[in-house]
Structure 1
Amino acid sequence: MSQTTLTASPALPAPVAGAAFMVAAGVAFAGVNTLEQIATTRLGIPAPTAAFLQYAVALLAVLPWAVRRGLPSLSTRRPWLQALRVLLAALGVQAWVAGLAHGVPIGQAVALVMTSPFVVTLGAALLLGERVSIERWLAVTIGFAGGLIILDPFAETFTAASLYPLAASVLWAGVSLVQKRLLVEDSPEAVAAWLLLLLAPVNLVLALPSGLVLPTADGWIAIIAVGVLTAAAQAFLALAYSRADAAYVQPFDHVKLPLNIIAGWLVFGWLPTAQLWIGAALIIGASLFLLWRESRAPEAGRATGQSPSSS
């Protein structure tokens, strides 16, 4: 994501403002996940329909602002890569919402999605030919070990639905890898515009085979709130990265895990297991180590970028 230099508020230093916006994004995403799970598990909205409506409402929420600012050019040298990125993002959204619809605890789902940076590192080495140091391979191994501890595939409580957040993690890692390749030739504004304008239509196409189901009145309230919070969360992320360096604000993104765990406990009564805490500690520790390594060697390049995840 490109960094834009803005004048910080005199009352709030830029780094503090960036951290505050990142935490605000985490709060908004916790609201998104909680309401999305209520909409799908309690109000009966099918996961594909919920995913489409979420981003359709989000698009309607941000479009007036985008038009006032002037939509960036959609010109691109690689339209097929742009289309692939949007498709991967939409499939990731579908997998994520399917996991919530099947009752995967919010905290567990978020922790599994946090393995995405390790998939990016693995993909950058295997697909983009980037050199990966021994330290980064170690971090990737530890991160995946944390995910395996959380999944606990040999436990009696394990279900195939637990794999949906992991699938979303892999798909959103693919989004970051394609974005890394696109930014070599296309502007960040064009890359963002393609995703903004096409994510909802692609999710509509993915939802059509199972049939669109119109929500009830309560369902519409939940979905509209989810869409508005999704737009707000993305806006908070943009503000966070514009106010402070990514290496500074990124660690505050991990606040989303306890926030989602608390939301799952308060709304659904899900208490985190010891395995969740252990696995999450490994994932967060390994991701912070990767971030530290990247901040020391910015010239090596980064396969970063915000996915459209609801985490």
Structure 2
Amino acid sequence: MRLSASGQPAMTGAALMIGAGAGFACVNTLLQYVTMMLGVSAPTATFWQYFIALLVLLPWQGIGLKGFATARPGAHLLRVAFAVGGVQLWTLGLAHVPIWQAIALIMLSPFFVTAGAGLLLREEVTPARWIAVLTGFVGGAVILSPWSDGFTLWAFAPIGAAALWAAASLMTKRMTATESPETLTLYLLALLTPLNLGLALMPEAGGLAIASAPAIAALVVAGLLTALAQYALARAYATADAAFLQPFDHVKLAFNVGLGALVFGFVPPGSMWLGSALIVGASLWLLARERRGIGHRLTRERAGG
């Protein structure tokens, strides 16, 4: 039986995806606080975030160095390359477009995953899922607002980041057939760490020193949450189909916007709400159909047993 067609594994995967989204939203808020309010450079903060996450994960549940055993080093490198490209485009977008627009546009990533799950992983993508994908991209166009005076081509950077992160997610799903969630998370953090170190040591980046105690504490918490969220994400993809999980990934939009308003007083304009309503509405509509489908399948299976 497919995991997406059985109740308990699917709901477990959904809960893990929602938990990962909440964790990443907290990480984003902590990093924004450290860089915007405490003056830590972005490369320095990113290095410590992922380095602390790696230190947290290595001894977790006795994983140790045995977690690095793999027969697919090339696939791990490609997955991390997609992730690094996404990070670079994300940072580039943040430097040129409003934060509310970047956060909302990054929510297109699940629709790239759903499309890729059908085209590349050959998972079943129903007509309802394709309708949700198209509706999501319409919502993205509203948020992008190419007809407005404030439109800039830099707004495509978060969309590019969304596509690359979707590619990394699809690689994660493909590799769960042979790689454990522990190994996937370890390689991601281990390969990101030296890349982040090189960026942090560049002359204009400010080095590795952090003079503020609140910044150190915030980065320690961000590193811990990064490890937990990355592990939850890998475990979710090992539990349920990638296409099924994507509506639950949209919950992180509410987490990000809510925390942004609470901590920074950030209130997005109307176009963000309209576009996000289309994105989230498409996901909720798809979720309702998927849940009815699961219920019908389970009913037929019980009747047949």
Q: TM-score, normalised by structure 1?
A: 0.71
Partner of 2:111: 118
Q: Write the letter of the residue equivalent to 2:273.
A: W
Alignment of 1:46 onto 2:25: no
Alignment of 1:264 onto 2:263: no
Aligned equivalents of 1:179 and 1:270: distance in 2? Answer: 33
Aligned equivalents of 2:133 and 2:10: distance in 1? Answer: 28
The 5-angstrom pairing of residues 96-175 of structure 1 reads: 96-100=90-94, 104-105=98-99, 107-124=100-117, 127=120, 134-175=127-168
Aligned equivalents of 1:131 and 1:16: distance in 2? Answer: 18
Q: Write the letter of the residue equivalent to 1:55.
A: Y
What CA deviation, in whole Å up to 9, does each residue of 1:119-146 have, x standing for no partner? Answer: 1233345556777554443322211111
Length, aligned pairs only: 284
Aligned equivalents of 1:209 and 1:140: distance in 2? Answer: 40
Q: Write the letter of the residue equivalent to 2:145.
A: D
Q: How far 1:279 sits from its partner (Å)?
A: 1.0
Partner of 1:304: none
What CA deviation, in whole Å up to 9, does each residue of 1:239-275 have, x standing for no partner? Answer: 8789999999875544322222122223322212222
Structure 1 portions without partners, runs of 5+ = 4-12, 298-311
Alignment of 1:231 onto 2:227: yes
Q: 1:85 aligns with which of 79, 96, 105?
A: 79
Structure 2 portions without partners, runs of 5+ = 295-305
Aligned equivalents of 2:10 and 2:78: distance in 1? Answer: 35
Q: How far 1:46 sits from its partner (Å)?
A: 3.3
Partner of 1:55: 50
Counterpart secondary structure, 1:156: coil
Change (3 A) 1:137 1:238: closer
Alignment root-mean-square deviation, CA: 4.1
Q: How far 1:174 sits from its partner (Å)?
A: 0.9
Tell me if the contact between 1:71 and 1:193 (Cα under 8 Å) persists in the aligned partners: no
Alignment of 1:64 onto 2:59: yes
What CA deviation, in whole Å up to 9, does each residue of 1:57-105 have, x standing for no partner? Answer: 2212222315x24555434443222101012112323333454566732
What CA deviation, in whole Å up to 9, does each residue of 1:166-190 have, x standing for no partner? Answer: 2221111111222344345545543
Partner of 2:194: 201
Tell me if the contact between 1:247 and 1:291 (Cα under 8 Å) persists in the aligned partners: no
Q: 1:95 aligns with which of 86, 89, 95?
A: 89
Q: How far 1:155 sits from its partner (Å)?
A: 2.4
Residue identity over aligned pairs, in percent, reads 50
Aligned equivalents of 1:37 and 1:64: distance in 2? Answer: 28
Tell me if the contact between 1:41 and 1:101 (Cα under 8 Å) persists in the aligned partners: no
Change (3 A) 1:16 1:197: same
Change (3 A) 1:179 1:234: closer
Change (3 A) 1:292 1:176: farther
Q: Write the letter of the residue equivalent to 1:265.
A: A
Alignment of 1:179 onto 2:172: yes
Tell me if the contact between 1:36 and 1:100 (Cα under 8 Å) persists in the aligned partners: no
Aligned equivalents of 2:120 and 2:13: distance in 1? Answer: 33
Counterpart secondary structure, 1:270: coil
Change (3 A) 1:245 1:59: same
Aligned equivalents of 1:16 and 1:166: distance in 2? Answer: 29
Counterpart secondary structure, 2:59: helix
Q: Write the letter of the residue equivalent to 1:144.
A: F
* More deviation, 108-117/217-226: 217-226
Tell me if the contact between 1:47 and 1:94 (Cα under 8 Å) persists in the aligned partners: no
Q: Write the letter of the residue equivalent to 1:34.
A: T
Q: How far 1:211 sits from its partner (Å)?
A: 4.8
* More deviation, 225-234/273-282: 225-234
Q: Write the letter of the residue equivalent to 1:230.
A: T
What CA deviation, in whole Å up to 9, does each residue of 1:186-218 have, x standing for no partner? Answer: 455433332233222233345555654234415
Aligned equivalents of 1:269 and 1:247: distance in 2? Answer: 34
Aligned equivalents of 1:235 and 1:76: distance in 2? Answer: 17
Q: TM-score, normalised by structure 2?
A: 0.72
Tell me if the contact between 1:264 and 1:270 (Cα under 8 Å) persists in the aligned partners: yes
Tell me if the contact between 2:199 and 2:205 (Cα under 8 Å) persists in the aligned partners: no
